[in-house]
Amino acid sequence: MVIKRRALLGGLAGAPALGLNQASAQPAASDSAGRFPDRPVRFVVAYAAGGAADNQNRLAAQKLTEIWGKQVIVENKPGGNTLIATETVMRAPADGHTLLSVSLPFALNPLMFDRLPYDPFHDFMPVGLISTIPNILVVHPSFPARNVAEFVAYAKANPQKIAVAHTGIGSVTHLSGELLYDIAGIEVTTVAYTGSAPAHIDVLSGRVQAMFDSSMLPHIAAGRVRALGVTSKQRVALLPDVPTIAEQGFPDYDAVAFYGLVAPRGTPPEIVEKISADLRTAVQQPETQERMKTLTFLPGNTTPAQFDQFIRNEVSLWGDLVKRRKIQPGS
């Protein structure tokens, strides 16, 4: 399968919302937005503290705290393929004070679970994209491969002998690997964790040989892991000597993570619009962009309607792979 990476962020201006409650695309009209927020705001994150999802949410939360003058609290609720966090926010009051940080599993879970307690396109309203981010395939220094071709060759000679960590079925850390295995025709053993931080412990110790992840830069610099390839079409500025996977014999390979915010259905549209506008202000500030650069994040800049379309395009990009690889909870 060939998955063509999006050219969405520049081309979404004016794109209509296709779901996730179209009311969120309507102009602000009431005084409720002017009073928002009137107490602390929660970002509920479906992953453990310390990983990429947690880092970018804390950065956005810090900037919105400065803008609003009210504390934005990041609350980590890992587990259940993101279902624990998702249900928490779905049942929260629809007033904008409890928001869900979403990534790919939010949209792909319906393709993997026979029954879900939520519908991503009806139970939530899109707010905006915080960031996109490439992952990096890293291995423990004891692993013999020094590039992606050698990684693939080792996997072919040793089927299912490579253990690869990821942050949950359907996460981009998981699907980045599945895409490579699919294109290269290899099989490995995957090991699920509740977030990047606990996975790092096992990768750094050598209990698990490899991982696709975005928050290993300090460990790469220190030589505690070896970077084999970047999952995006472009190299990472902070790792200019690490080629992309596409450059290493797999030209159709392209996998980028995203993080954004959604609100419970029924949240007043004017509040959704205010949060979205303030989020765009927060992530476009020069100091925010500089910090994101050090973490290899690319700042988002979407309206609720554009973020809706972005999520739908992600489902289209990854859905076929999920079906063909028969990816399900526990797979």
What CATH number did the domain enclosing 212 receive?
3.40.190.10
Percent of the chain with pLDDT over 90: 70
Residues 100 and 144 in one domain: no
pLDDT above 90 (res 156): yes
Does the pLDDT of residue 221 top 80, yes or no?
yes
> Does residue 123 sit in the same domain as residue 268?
yes
Q: Which CATH number do you get for residue 279?
A: 3.40.190.150
- How many other C-beta atoms are found inside a 10 Å radius of the C-beta of residue 116? 15
Q: Would you state the pLDDT for residue 30?
A: 54
User: If you write DSSP's letter for every residue of 150-164 in order, what string do you get?
Assistant: HHHHHHHHSTT-SEE
pLDDT of residue 296: 84
Whether residues 184 and 102 fall in one domain: no
Residues 237, 310, single domain; the answer is: no
Are 128 and 263 in the same domain? yes
The total of structural domains in the chain comes to 2
Average per-residue pLDDT for the chain? 89
Report CA-CA distances (Å) from 223 to 6, 22, 69, 78.
33, 48, 41, 29
Residue 111: its pLDDT value, please? 85
In a domain, residue 2? The reply is: no
Residue after which a domain boundary falls, among 248, 269, 297: 248
Same domain, 315 and 265: yes
The average pLDDT across 132-161 equals: 97
Tell whether 23 and 138 lie within a shared domain.
no
Residues 139 and 284 reside in one and the same domain: no
Distance CA 331, CA 329 (A): 6
Q: Give the HSE-up count for residue 293: Cα atoms under 13 Å, Cβ half-sphere.
A: 9
Q: Are residues 186 and 146 in the same domain?
A: yes
Whether residue 20 is predicted with pLDDT greater than 80 in this model: the reply is no
262 and 188 within one domain: no
Residue 31 within any structural domain of the chain: yes
**For 285-311, what is each residue's pLDDT tens digit?**
999 999 988 888 889 999 999 999 999
Residue 284: inside a domain: yes
* Of 100, 119, 108, residue with least CA distance to 45: 100
Query: Which residue from 190, 213, 196, 180 is spatially nearest to 328, judged by alpha carbons?
Result: 190
Domain span including residue 197: 134-248
Q: Can you give the pLDDT at residue 8? A: 40
For the residues 210-234, what does the mean pLDDT come to?
A: 95
* Shared domain check, 123 and 98: yes
Q: Let me know: does 166 contact 179? Beta carbons within 8 Å.
A: no
Q: Token pair of 292, please?
A: 């994101």
pLDDT at 120: 92
- Would you say residue 165 has pLDDT above 70? yes
Please check whether residues 272 and 126 belong to one and the same domain.
yes
Q: Is residue 18 in some structural domain?
A: yes
Task: Please check whether residue 128 lies inside any domain of the structure.
Answer: yes
Among 248, 274, 304, the domain-final residue is 248
Question: Is pLDDT at 24 greater than 60 in this prediction?
Answer: no
What is the chain's Cα-based Rg?
19
In-domain check, residue 330: no
Domain boundary among the residues 184, 218, 248 is at 248
In this structure, is residue 1 part of a structural domain?
A: no
Whether 314 is in a domain gets the answer yes
- Cα gap 302→322, rounded to integer Å: 26
- In the chain, the percentage of residues whose pLDDT exceeds 70 is 90
Per-residue pLDDT at 4 exceeds 70: no
310: left (phi over 0), alpha (psi -120 to 50) or beta: alpha
Alpha helices in 163-303 (DSSP H): 172-184, 196-205, 217-221, 269-284, 286-294
Q: What is the pLDDT of residue 97?
A: 98
**pLDDT tens figures, 25-38:** 444 445 677 799 99
Confidence tier at 13 by pLDDT (50, 70, 90): very low
Q: Which range among 94-98, 150-154, 178-182, 237-241 shows the weakest confidence by mean pLDDT?
A: 237-241
